[in-house]
Amino acid sequence: MSSSQPGSCPCQGAAGRPTILYTLLSPSVRDWPSVAPARGRCLCRQHRPVQLCTPHRTCQEALDVLAKTLAFRRDGRCRVPLFRLGLAQCTVPCQVAEVPMPSILKKILLEKPSSGAGSSQRPDRPQPSLAEVQWLQCCLESFWSLELGPKEYAYLKGTVLFNPEVPGLYASSHIGHLQQEAHQALWEVLEPWCPAGQSRLARVLLMASTLKSIPPSLLGDLFLRPVIGDVDIADLLEDMLLLS
C-alpha cells in the first residue's frame, strides 16, 4: 500500500500545538486550552470532515454486514474484526465528499462568545476526516485485490473466531487447535489457484492484519452514525438480538 496512515498536521507546529494564526482564529482552542484540537477543527484539506455521498444506501449495506455478526455477539472481541472482514467481502463502497464548512471570517463574525465557564459547551463530535477515509479505502482496496471467494472468506473468519489469545478461555488449547484447522482449510482452498499456496496464505493473513489498523470509532462514525445517530453500537446490537 502506497498510502500511509493519517499523521501529523501542517496546521500544527513542531511541538504538536496549533500555530498562532490557528489559535487566534479558533475560539474552541482558546476556550479549551487543555484539549488538543479535534480532527474536525483542522484547516488542512486532508483533515477536513467528510461525509458519505450516498449515506442511506451505504449505511444500509453496512448495517446488513453488522447484522451478520449477531451470531457471534457474545464474543465482543471478534465482532469488530468480523465487521471489517464483512465490509471487505461485501465490497461496501465509501465514496465521500467534503462537508460544507463556513469560512473563518463568517465563523468569527457569527459565532456567539461564551458568557462564562458554566455556559460554555464542548464542540460537537467531529466527523471522519478525508485522511482517515482514504486510509480505510486503501486497506479495503488492497484486500479486494486478493480476489478472495466465499470459502476463503469463511475460513479466514474462522481464524478470527478461534483465537486462543482471548483472556478467560477455559479451553485455549482446544481453541488454538481449531484455529490451526482453519488455517489449514484456508491454505487448502488457496493452493489450487496458486502454485505457491503457502506464500499466498501469508499474503492473505498479512492483508487481514492491516484491517486491524482501521479504528472501530471510524467505522461507527462513517457507516452507522448517519442513520442511527450517537447510539452505542453495543446497545444497537442488543436491540437487534431482541428483535431477531
Q: Could you name the CATH architecture of 42-99+126-243?
A: Orthogonal Bundle (1.10)
Looking at per-residue confidence, does 120 or 144 come out higher?
144
φ and ψ at 49, to 5 degrees? -70, 145
Whether 17 shows a pLDDT value over 50: the answer reads yes
Residue-averaged pLDDT of the chain: 75
Rounded (5°) CA angle 120-126-136: 165
DSSP labels, 41-66: G--SGGGSBEEESSHHHHHHHHHHHH
- For residue 61, what pLDDT is reported? 92
What mean pLDDT is predicted for residues 155-160?
Answer: 91
Please tell me which of 79-88, 102-111, 234-243 the model is most confident about, judged by mean pLDDT.
79-88
- For residue 29, what pLDDT is reported? 43
- For residue 52, what pLDDT is reported? 92
Sequence-ordered alpha helix ranges (H) in the chain:
20-25, 27-31, 55-67, 76-89, 104-110, 130-144, 150-161, 172-190, 197-210, 216-219, 225-228, 233-243
pLDDT in tens, 61-84: 998 888 887 766 555 667 788 889
pLDDT in tens, 179-216: 999 999 998 888 776 665 567 888 898 888 888 889 88
pLDDT band of 154, cuts 50, 70, 90: very high
pLDDT in tens, 19-46: 555 555 554 444 434 434 444 455 577 7
Residue 152: burial class (beta carbons within 10 Å; 0-12, 13-18, 19+): buried
Whether 88 shows a pLDDT value over 90: the answer reads yes
CA gap 242, 238 in Å, rounded? 6
Are 170 and 182 contacting, i.e. CB atoms less than 8 angstroms apart?
A: no
Coil, helix or strand at residue 183? helix
Looking at per-residue confidence, does 1 or 183 come out higher?
183
DSSP labels, 63-96: HHHHHTTGGGTT-HHHHHHHHHHHHHHTT----E
Q: Return the percentage of the chain with pLDDT > 90, whole number.
A: 23
Q: Among 51-65, 180-194, 220-234, where is mean pLDDT lowest? A: 220-234
Strand partners, 97: 51
Are 186 and 204 contacting, i.e. CB atoms less than 8 angstroms apart?
A: yes
pTM > 0.85: no
Report the Cα–Cα distance between both ends of the chain, in Å, rounded. Answer: 39
Q: Using alpha carbons only, how large is the chain's radius of gyration in Å? A: 22
